Structure 1
Amino acid sequence: MQVDTDIVTETLPPSMLWATHLERDRRRSVHTVRAYRAAAERLTAFLNRHWGERMDRAALSRVTAADLRGYLAFRRENGLGNASAARELSAVRGFLAWANEAAEQPRLRGPRVKRGLPRPISPAEAVALAEDVADDASEPWIGARDWAVLLLLYGAGLRIGEALTLPGGILPLGETVRVLGKRAKTRVVPLLPQVREAIEAYAAQTPWPIERDTPLFRGAKGGPLSPVMIRRAVRMARARLGLGERTTPHALRHSFATHLLGRGADLRALQELLGHASLSSTQVYTQVDAAHLMDVYRSAHPRA
């Protein structure tokens, strides 16, 4: 018996179909797909209760600005802040645009959100953090692993997801490494000697076989290393060192960018190193550098 795939597809929830579209056609990351699908599911659940009917793509074409205001009000009752509300509105707008490509979308101005500047940490703090994480590891090879991962974030500017998905095939290392970034875009990143040495030291100590097409960094039981484990280790280390809550793995990437810019790096070159699709994403670091200079000025100048 032949199954009509179109009929089967139409029976799936719109949120699931949208998630498939984002992953397959838009090549969005796993984290983005998960977050956007969750937002779509929350919206359709709200509309199910609000309208008392099952939501499909045809029903979504009737969503108005008043419906979206009601939805955001409902979400705010559950403690949603301005920044989260803006992200939620962006996600559901994309969902509605996908569901009804020919229909005019309801217009609703999102909450105003002041864009915060990245919070880098000093080179000394970055090194101290990585050393503390490595020293606290339960086994020497795990310490070598965590040291290598954190040096990739601070010394090469990788996102944590990019570092943890590096395949064993990058060995033996050269002066650069090819990184798979957001939206499946690849870029070439230089490796400092210290970063190469850290990766090679881990590779020499890991008890698990390094295979060309599997993740280089392994968890304690041999599976792919989860970013949760690195974030947890950093959280514990910053508490021991008395560092602020903004000292996260991603802050090491911010520090990489800010310190390079402070030493005269070209903005376009920095954009390539970070894998930013838009130069505006990189330009925010010029504000960070200026803010740092003002802090130094105020603390050091006798008339400041």
Structure 2
Amino acid sequence: MKVEDHLAEEKFALSERSQNMMVRDRAVRPVLFLPRRQVAAEDAAVLNQLLAAYKRIGLKLPTLDLSNALKAHLDCQQALALAGEEQIASRLIKAREERERRHNEIEREDEEKSIIERHNVLDAIREVVTGFTTIRRLNLGFSKVPITVFCGSRESQGPDLLTISRRLRTRSSIDLSQERVAIESAISSFVHATIAQSPLLCDTESIDKKVIDRIEQTLLSMADGMFLWVRLVVSTIENAYTVEQMLQALDRIPRGLEDLVVAENLSYRLLTLKLAITSSSSGSKR
């Protein structure tokens, strides 16, 4: 049998199979991936070539249907292969994949931006989130926070450690290197500056240097190089009303991020309960 006759028979069989499928189940159609109205502008030329290819091989094109197009994907590829139009099919597939890739990239950027906005300190960047490609993207979420910290505080990070040095206008920016000494120095400076500027110590005529040193050394020894933990717990100390409360808070600070989260949730629940009781008592007195 000649090759031309074989191709003609294959084409006839495919056409007959397609028509039978349409009669038996109109939900399955050997057509395209997307309806004409939803094809992106950059795919219009490819779509026109594909329609012309179907016309050349003699297949009748039914109404395009998005909901069932994926079911007909295999039949579409077979028809194009028989007609020698594999390249057109490949271009259409690549166009769709590129469109999906762009969509996924936008979603990933939005997710990264959301994560940045929820953390005013990024500790060990590659442990928090992956996929950052530019410093500009990192800076995006830090326009309204008092301090910006980019650091890699894990000794095992090796060559992936990100060291970023940048001054953000009036904002503070800390550049931490891979050396543990530099990390501890930055933590000490941050704790000292934060506690010394707390409302309690600022209102005191003579700042007790021993109190500040004790807080600084305690946090430094417990931090184990983790700047994020320091940034989160220092607020529970600086907002104390008396020096005694400040030292008591220092003795009760949670060890590690997991304990910190539990403590914060418990504190919130106790505060809510206290407000509810106070409100109820006030209402009954009235």
TM-score interval (norm. to shorter):
under 0.3
Tell me the TM-score normalized by structure 1.
Answer: 0.21
Tell me the TM-score normalized by structure 2.
Answer: 0.22
Give 1 or 2: higher helix fraction: 2
**Higher CA-based Rg:** 2
